[in-house]
Amino acid sequence: MSLPIFPIPQWEQSLTLFFIIITGATLVCAGALTYFRRVRMDRPPVGTFNARDVVILLIFIGILPFVYGWLPDTVVTCLLAVTFGSALYIGYRPVLGAAGIWLAIGLLLGFNIWSSHHLLGTIPGWQVWYTEQSVTVGLSAVAVCNLYVQGGMKLRHVAWLSLGLAGYDVLFASYYPLTGRLLARYVTHPFTPVLGMRFGGVDYAVGLGDLLVYSLFFVATYKAYGAQAAKIAAAVIVVMGGFATAFLPFLFNLHNANLDTLIPAQSLFGPFAFVTYLWMKRHYGRERTMAEYLASQGDAAAASQVERAPAPEPASI
């Protein structure tokens, strides 16, 4: 029985991937939490995230790969540019102001497009491209995470979303490998939605969707139950989102004919995130609302509103 020859041992690849995932997840989660604590996004006069939004998101996420697969690459690039541009604009306009945000978006997206066409011939070129790509993806994940959580998304919603994505990942990464095909087709184009790096000719990356779910889980837990609970959420992300995802191929010798391995990270993380949510709900009780969170941070305006409808303090506070 012949064994495939790996240019780099698989345990080393797994360790590198673990490092990449943990670095990305740490940066995005820390960034999202810092943003959450310091920046208040504009929100619409009426509307808060609810269970039906989770369903709509899952349907949208389920349909999108087919749409991307059907559309020409140029159109996909345009759609992704609009998506990233919108996320960055919504997220960082409160920080950079109207003029600054357009300049920043122009530079970031412009360099992304330029580097995709001019830098991919060498390993250092790939590394510059990945760095720029990672900055765009990371900033976007921080923005979208805050858009949802500051828009009223609760840990309950994140847990159900994770569970839904677990099923999605199993379906589209394993039984009907659309995600892998899309990634393989699109990976050298601008705005590839991954955060990663190339070492020794091997790409190591974590998807934007995964980073978004990790940061949602982390920040929503912090909002709902406070810092202690957020540490538990961080541990779940490290173990199930990082370690299990990175070392699964090594432990179970998973790879495909191209020696590429696409690990359905959410199928590992989702169920554990859901169970963690159930445990927190049982242990800490009702989640804090956004108003209660702001009141706990000494926001006088929110506090005055909360006085009208007092709610029990979470057990963790």
Partner 1 sequence: MFETGIRQFRLAWGMTQGRRLNPGNVARLVDDVLATIAEFGEPGRDAGELIDGPMADPAARLEVANRSLRRTARRLAAQSPFYARRFASANVDPAKLDVAGLRAIPVTVKADLMERPGDFRCTDVPAYLATRTTGTTGRPAEVWLSRYEMELWPALGALASVLRGELGPGDVMQVNLSSRGAVAMHTSATSCRLAGAGYRPLGIVPPEAALDSLAEGGATILLTTPSYLGELVVAARQAGLGAGDFRLRRLVVGGEVLSASLVRAATATFGVPNVDDPYSMTEIVPVTGRSCSQRHQHHDLNVGLTELIDLDTGEPAAPGALGTLVITPYFPYRDCTPVFRFDTRDVARRLPDEPLRCELAGVPATSQILGKADQLLRLPSGEVVTPRQLIEAIEALPAEPWPARYRATVSDDTGRIRLTLPASAIAGYGAAEAGRHFAAAGLDVDLEIVGNDQAASLRRTRSDMHETTFGSQHALVGA
Residue 143's identity, in one-letter code, is: A
- Which tokens is 71 given? 């559309």
| Residue 62 binds partner 1 (CB under 8 A) | no
| Residue 45 binds partner 1 (CB under 8 A) | yes
Cβ at position 213, least distance to partner 1 in Å: 18
| Residue 253 binds partner 1 (CB under 8 A) | no
Give dist(CA 74, CA 64) in Å, integer: 16
Alpha helices in the chain, H assignment, sequence order: 10-38, 51-70, 73-118, 123-149, 155-169, 178-186, 208-225, 227-236, 245-252, 265-284, 290-296, 300-306
Residues 145-174, one symbol each (x = binds partner 1 by CB under 8 A, - = not), give: ------xx----------------------
| Residue 98 binds partner 1 (CB under 8 A) | no
Partners of 195 in beta bridges: 206
Residue nearer to partner 1 on the CB measure, 221 or 289: 289
Cβ at position 53, least distance to partner 1 in Å: 5
Which DSSP letter does residue 203 get?
E
Cβ atoms < 10 Å from Cβ of 45 = 4
CB 131 within 8 A of CB 27: no
Kindly give, in sequence order, each residue whose CB lies less than 8 Å from that of residue 91, ignoring residues fewer than 6 positions away. Answer: 35, 41, 139, 140, 142, 143, 144, 146, 147
| Residue 53 binds partner 1 (CB under 8 A) | yes
Residues 284-303, one symbol each (x = binds partner 1 by CB under 8 A, - = not), give: -----xxx--xx-----xx-
Residue nearer to partner 1 on the CB measure, 52 or 282: 52
| Residue 94 binds partner 1 (CB under 8 A) | no
Residue nearer to partner 1 on the CB measure, 35 or 186: 35
Binding interface with partner 1 (CB under 8 A): 42-50, 52-53, 56, 151-152, 289-291, 294-295, 301-302, 305-306, 308-309
